[in-house]
Structure 1
C-alpha cells in the first residue's frame, strides 16, 4: 500500500518513499501523541530523490514541528536540512521510520502558497523542488527571528488618485477592476519619462486599499530604488519593503520575515522577490520583462515572467507586465487572451516622446555621403553640439572598455592570441594589446593571414568613446557610466554622458538629446532576440530624453530601413512585437513554440536523448557543437514542441535525468527549459 502525495507535490513520482530507520538516533523515543508522521522535503539536488520522505515526530518536537518549518533529518548517512511539508496520522511505509533529527526553527517559512508555486515551477522547468526552494526562501538568521517585530501599519484610508493612469484610455478601468478585485491582466507600454514608477505605486496603493497585497519585480537596484521612492510617497512609511541582494543577509531576512508574518503586504524587489510570501496577494507586477537578468542563473533557471504569470494564474490575481518596449513573449500573452494591451493614444504619446532620427536615411545621405558608414554622422554630431548648450547629452555605447576588439589593419581579419586563439583587446591609449581569454600580452603580434603587424579598432568601448568626445567637445565635462562605475544620476548642467545599455544615469529634467551609437553591434549578434533586445535598450535610453516639444531629440546610428530602427522612429513597440511574434511562429521559434536545450559532452547529450521518451509532437534539432563554450567538445541539442506540450516535455526530461541520477552517472548533460539563446 502506498502513500498519496500531498497537494501540489510532484507529478513525476507518485509515491513518497519513507526514510529508513538506520542511524535513527536513540532507540527508545516516544512519538508525538497526535499526527506523529512528518513529510519532509529533503534538501538534495539529485533528481531521482525529488519527493517527500516520511519521518516520525518525537514527542519532544510535537509543538515545534509545524508545517513549513525548517528541520534536519538523517538521510543517506548524513544529516541534511529540509522543510516539513505536513503532519499526518499514518504512513504507508511498512518499515521502521526514522525520527526527525532537529527542528531548526518553528517559524513556518514555507507557506502553502509558495510551496505549491515552487512545486509547479520545478515541474515547469524540469527541476527539483529543493533547487526552487533554495531560490524562494532566504537563509535563516536566528537573531533576526528573535527580534520584536514592528506593529503592522493599517491600509491607506483614502483611495489614491488615478494620476498618470489618466494618460491611458483604459487606465482608469484597470484600476477600477483592481479595486473591485476582478483580477485584470494587462501588458503595459509605459509612456517615456519617469512616471512609470508612480504609475506602479498607484496600482499597488489601489490594491492595498482594497485589502490586497502586491509583488513588484524589477531588473536592478536602480529601478527598485526608483519604485521604492514612489511607493514611500504613495503608501507612506512602513507599508512596503524593498528586497535586494545588496541589503545583506540579516536585513534582507528581517524584511522578508515582515512579509511572511503579514506585517507588510507590498514587496518591491529584484528577481528573488517573485517568491515573496505576501498575504492576500492581489497584484503581480513585472517591469521591463525583456531584460536577461529576470532569468535566474541557478538551476532550474526560472524566468520571473513565467513565475509571476503562473502565480497570477493559480491564485486568480491581477497582473501587470510593463516596460517601454514590448517583447514577443508579452505579445504572446495578449494574443492568447490571457492579458490585454494597455497603451496610450498617439496624441498623448507624441506629447511625451522625443523626436527620433535614424542615420543613413535618404535626406541625410543627400547631404552626408558618409552618413551610412560613419560611427558618428554629421547630423548626430551637430545634434550633440546644439543640445549640449542647454543640458546633458546621453551617448549610449553597446560595449564597455576601451578597444574591446581588434582587427588586422591590412586584411581586416580578427586579431587573435597566438597562444590560445582568444580575441585581443586594448585597455587604454598607451597599453599593449592583451588576450581577453588568457591575459597574454601580444606586443609582437603579426597576422597569420597577411603577415601585417598593424592593428585597428574593431569594437570601440565607452572609455575610448569618452576620450574621442572629450577632444571633440573640449569645453564640456564627459562622464562615463558602466560596469566598473555606474552613475545613478547627473545634473541638468551641460555635459556628455557616455554609458553602456542599462547603466544610463537619470537627469532631473531629462536629457536634451541621446546618441545611440554602434547599432550594428546590437543588431548583428547571432541571437534570435538581437533586434528585440536592441530596440529594448534604445527605448530605455530614449525614454530618458525630454519630449520633442521641449527640444528632446534622439539619433540612432543604425540602418534606417531595418524594422527595429523604424519601430524606434515611429515609437511603435506593439507593432514590432506583433511582427516579431508572427515571424517566429513562421520559423518555429519561441515564444510561438516551447523549447528545451540539452548541453554537455557529445556522448552524454546523445545518451540522455536516447533515454528520454519525448512527446510525439517533439522535434530534435542537433546536437551541434557550441561555438561559444570554452571547450570545443561541448554540444547542444534543442527540443521543440508546441506550447501546449511544454509540461509533457519537461516531465519527460525530468524522468530521464532522474533515471541517470539513480544510476549514479557522474557526468550529466545540462537540461534547460526556455533557453535564452537558441541560435
Structure 2
C-alpha cells in the first residue's frame, strides 16, 4: 500500500488486535484510487469498525474516509500515521455495497470514492442518534392474480418465493396498474424475509409506487428514498434500511445502492428514461448498477416498462433474462385504438392538409368524442430545443456518415453559407451524400421544436378548461373530467379512470433528432402517454401525427415494442452502435484530448472516431470530443485503459480537464 501523508504522534498506542485499518480516502484523484493503511489508536479500537466513517490526515490535510477492513499487518514498509478520529462508529458501508461500488467504478472507468458519494448519503448526527426504527414484521404473500395475465408472470413470482435469481424483462400491458405489480413482487420476497429495491425515474412515479407498497406491506414495511427529502429525513430512512428495520426500498436513481440486507429483488421501471443516467462521475446507469448487483448478490432482476430498450432486448437475446409479455388477446382487450396520420389514404382525401396540419381533422374528431363523453384529453407536445439535424430530402430518413454511420449536420453558419455536411462523430465532410434507402442526393435541414398549443386548443374547444404540465409545473394527477391536458413528454399527469383520447403531436420533432436513440425514445414516450388512455372497448383513441410507414410508428399502431427493440438491436449491431459495442466519449480542449488519446493503451479491437469540435456558447474555450468504440468482449479492457490514462494525467497534475464517459445515452 502507498504511504499516506501526515505524522505519527508518539504518545498514542496502536490497538492490540488488528491495529491496521485500510481506508478509502475521500480524494477524487484517479491515481489515488486505492486503499491506504493507517494505524488505529487504542482508544478507537472498538469504534473503528469496517464500514465506519473516519477522519485521516492525507498529504497534510484532514480528509474523510471509510474503513474498508482491519488487518493485523500492513504491506507498507515505512511508518504509518494514526487515523485522527472516528467520525461515527455506525458501519454505513456494508461489504455488499462496497463490492458493488467497486464493480461500478471498474465498469465506468471511475474511482471507488466517486461511487461511494452516490451510494452513501451525508451523515446527519441527529438522525443517527435518534431512536432506532422498529423492524417491520414480514407481510403476507400477496394475491398473484395481477400477474396471471402474463404467461410467465406466475413463474416469476414463484421464482421470487423460492429465492431463485430470476432475470426478467417485463412488458407491461397498456393501462396496467404497474405500481401494484411491482409492490406485489416486492411483497413476495419480503414475505420470505429478503429485501427488495425498486427504482423509478422521478418523484411522481415514486409517490405512486410507494403508495402501492404501503397498501401491500403497511406503512412500516417500506421506505421511500429521494434527494428532495432533506438531509435529516433522508439519512434517517437510509439508516433504517442499513440497520435492517425495513426490507423494501422505493426510490429514484441513488436508491439502486440502498443497503438492503440479503436482497431478493432489484427492479427498475422505464429503464429508457434519461433520468436513470447519473450526471455525476462516473456517470453510471441505474439498469447497469442493478444488473451488477443482481449478479453479485444472487437477487432477481426485473427490467420493466411499457416500452423496451435495445439494452433490454440484448438481455433477452443473450439468454441472460427472460421476457414477461402479455398474450396478444390480452393486449387487444386493453389497448386503445391507435391511428397515425397517413395510415388511411381516404383520410387524406377528406383532409388534404392532414400531413402538414398541426391538428388534422382526425385528431379534432377524437378529442371532441372524448370531451363529449366527459373524459379528459391528453395532448403530448415535444419539448423545445432539439439539436437541428439533416435528413434525406426524399424519404426523410436521418442522414448518416458512410464511413462510421454517425449523424450528419451542417457546420456552424451552415444555414446561411453553403457548406458540405459533416459527420458529428468522425468529422469527415460529406459532399456527395446519397441516401442508402431511396438513393436521393438531396439533404433536408430539419428545424425541430414545438410551439405551445394551449392557446390554440382553447380557441378550438371553447368552454373546456386547458391545463398544462411541463417544466414550470408538472401535474401528478388530474380528475376524470372533460379537459384538455397539454403535457411535454414525461410530464403526463395520471388519470385514475384513464384518458378518453391522446393526441401525440409533431412526431418529426422527436424522430428527426440527431440522436442514436431518437426512434427508441419517441416510441417510449408515445407508449407511456398512450398507456394512460382507456382501451378501445371503452372508446379510447390515440392519434399520432407521424408517417405511418415508419417502423417506429408501426410499432406504436400495433403496440409491439418488442419487435421494434429487436429491430433496433439488429440495426445497431450491423452499424456498430451500443449496446452491441461499448463506446466511450472523451471531451476536453483540443490539446488535452489529443494528449489523452496519445497516452491510451487500447485493446487491438478499439477504434477511435474523431475528434470533432463541439458546439460552445459565448466565449467558452474550444472543446473537442473523440469517440472510442470496442466490442463488448473488450469492454473491461477499454474501461481499464481509460482509468489508467486518467490516473496518469492526475498524477502529472495536468491543468486541462478531460471528461471521460462510458456508454453515455447521448453520443453527440
C-alpha separation between the residues in 1 aligned to 2:81 and 2:239? 31
What is the CA deviation profile of residues 379-425 of structure 1, one whole-angstrom value per residue up to 9, with x for unaligned ones?
11111112111210000001269x999xxxxxxxxxxxxxx9999xx
User: Counterpart of 2:622?
Assistant: 633
Query: Is residue 387–residue 514 contact of structure 2 (8 Å, CA) maintained in 1?
Result: no
C-alpha separation between the residues in 2 aligned to 1:559 and 1:628? 34
**1:321-336 equivalences in 2 (<5 Å):** 321-336=303-318
Counterpart pick for 2:143 among 161, 170, 176:
161
User: Counterpart of 1:554?
Assistant: 542
User: Counterpart of 1:608?
Assistant: 596
Counterpart pick for 2:279 among 297, 304, 309:
297
**1:190-589 equivalences in 2 (<5 Å):** 190-361=172-343, 362-390=345-373, 391-399=375-383, 461=450, 464-589=452-577
C-alpha separation between the residues in 2 aligned to 1:575 and 1:632? 44
Q: Using the TM superposition, give the Cα deviation of residue 629 of structure 1 relative to its aligned residue in structure 2, in angstroms.
A: 6.5
C-alpha separation between the residues in 2 aligned to 1:55 and 1:310? 31
SS in 1 for 2:151: coil
5+ long unaligned stretches in structure 2: 389-411, 416-445
User: Counterpart of 2:69?
Assistant: 86
Q: Using the TM superposition, give the Cα deviation of residue 93 of structure 1 relative to its aligned residue in structure 2, in angstroms.
A: 1.3
Distance 1:460 1:575, change over 3 A: closer
User: Counterpart of 2:665?
Assistant: 676
Q: Using the TM superposition, give the Cα deviation of residue 263 of structure 1 relative to its aligned residue in structure 2, in angstroms.
A: 0.3
Query: Is residue 41–residue 83 contact of structure 1 (8 Å, CA) maintained in 2?
Result: yes
C-alpha separation between the residues in 2 aligned to 1:638 and 1:83? 35
Query: Is residue 132–residue 300 contact of structure 1 (8 Å, CA) maintained in 2?
Result: yes
5+ long unaligned stretches in structure 1: 1-15, 406-419, 424-456
User: Counterpart of 1:595?
Assistant: 583
How many pairs align?
612
C-alpha separation between the residues in 2 aligned to 1:212 and 1:489? 33
Q: Using the TM superposition, give the Cα deviation of residue 312 of structure 1 relative to its aligned residue in structure 2, in angstroms.
A: 0.4
What is the CA deviation profile of residues 359-396 of structure 1, one whole-angstrom value per residue up to 9, with x for unaligned ones?
12223223221111111111111111121112100000
Distance 1:317 1:667, change over 3 A: same
User: Counterpart of 1:23?
Assistant: 7
SS in 2 for 1:238: helix
C-alpha separation between the residues in 2 aligned to 1:671 and 1:624? 15
Query: Is residue 18–residue 55 contact of structure 1 (8 Å, CA) maintained in 2?
Result: no
SS in 2 for 1:526: coil
C-alpha separation between the residues in 2 aligned to 1:627 and 1:19? 42
C-alpha separation between the residues in 2 aligned to 1:664 and 1:477? 60
Q: Using the TM superposition, give the Cα deviation of residue 558 of structure 1 relative to its aligned residue in structure 2, in angstroms.
A: 0.8
Query: Is residue 616–residue 623 contact of structure 2 (8 Å, CA) maintained in 1?
Result: no
Query: Is residue 189–residue 324 contact of structure 1 (8 Å, CA) maintained in 2?
Result: yes
C-alpha separation between the residues in 2 aligned to 1:461 and 1:144? 46
Counterpart pick for 1:96 among 66, 72, 79:
79
C-alpha separation between the residues in 2 aligned to 1:648 and 1:458? 40
Query: Is residue 107–residue 636 contact of structure 2 (8 Å, CA) maintained in 1?
Result: yes
SS in 1 for 2:486: strand
Counterpart pick for 1:187 among 169, 186, 190:
169
Q: TM-score, normalised by structure 1?
A: 0.88
User: Counterpart of 2:95?
Assistant: 112
Q: Using the TM superposition, give the Cα deviation of residue 625 of structure 1 relative to its aligned residue in structure 2, in angstroms.
A: 1.3
What is the CA deviation profile of residues 197-234 of structure 1, one whole-angstrom value per residue up to 9, with x for unaligned ones?
11111110111112211001000011011100110111
Alpha carbon RMSD of aligned pairs, Å?
Answer: 1.9
Q: TM-score, normalised by structure 2?
A: 0.89
User: Counterpart of 1:451?
Assistant: none
**2:640 corresponds to 1:647:** no
Distance 1:460 1:162, change over 3 A: same
